[in-house]
Amino acid sequence: MRIGVIGAGALGLYYGALLQRGGHDVHFLMRRDFQAVSSKGLEVISPQGNFHLADVRAYRNSREIGPVDLVLVGLKAYANEQLVELTRPLVAPGTTILTLQNGLGNEEVLATAFDRKQIVGGVAFLCCNRGEPGTVHHLDQGSIRIAEFFGGLSPRVEQLAATFSQTGIPCEACADLTRIRWEKLVWNIPFNGLCALTGLPTDRLLSCPETRQLITALMQEVIDAANRQGLSQAIEAPAFIERMLQVTAGMEAYRPSMMIDRQQAAPLELDAIYRIPLERAAEAGTPMTRVAMLHALLEATESSKL
């Protein structure tokens, strides 16, 4: 399969590297890592085994890549004003566009320019950070869940899930994209925001009874709003929250992407992870008051950098 990776940060580099190692023809759109990868290849450090790709097809301009079978989008959602322009040169009538971006609204951006039947959405449960240029550190997790933007469990997503799984990326084909996106928000909203605000990794927040209680309350708000979004099956709050807390405890001192972005003075994905979910929750009659406060604090501290 010919694959184009748009947004070769930690997620794009890691999944793209596994797909290339699995025999696929992968092409990476890169900025920061372009020189290092072009000269010395790509190094993946992982508890599942380190590996090095000596020959990596890296590009500065997506027009140089041309049409592909699969576009894998790992671009940060705050850069979505560039998403269509970056993706367009890679898309032919038979191309599938898979966005693994955080939050809500990403598929809708793509649907403004491309056939919605070409669009697949997904969520990645991945602990992964970039190291020095040309190196990506996989810390934990790595599974993906994907679903059609237009709904239903299709042979296409089942085949795509099988392809990913064959390359060492555990991937599940699902029928309800809205449900899997809100399930990821149950984790993203409390941990990304609180870690970015406090500068504390996940284990410190979980070890403090007050912040652990706040995390649980935020998760409950998100689940209450999610269950008003017309899901195919409701999210069972107590069991799901307990599972999220246990999984996070296993990550130890993990720094979520929004915490790293703030430490590096990069923009935050506030629209996709907070503003749009808050709007959809309000439209469904379930305003998320704690989430709104967290969003307001992130906006205020983001504005203070200007």
Residues with catalytic roles? 184
Q: Which amino acid is at 102?
A: N
Token look-up 């322009």 returns: 85
Helices (H), the chain: 10-21, 34-40, 83-87, 106-111, 155-166, 177-198, 202-207, 209-226, 237-250, 257-263, 270, 276-283, 289-303
Distance CA 17, CA 52 (A): 9
The region, left, alpha or beta by phi > 0 then psi within -120 to 50, assigned to residue 151 is: left
Q: Residue 180's closest CA among 217, 232, 249, 138?
A: 232
| Terminal CA-CA length for the chain | 44
Query: Tokens 């450090």 sit at which residue?
Result: 45
Beta pairing class for 119-130 and 135-148: antiparallel
Alpha carbons 197 and 270: distance in angstroms, whole number? 13
Q: Cα separation of 133 and 42, whole Å? A: 9
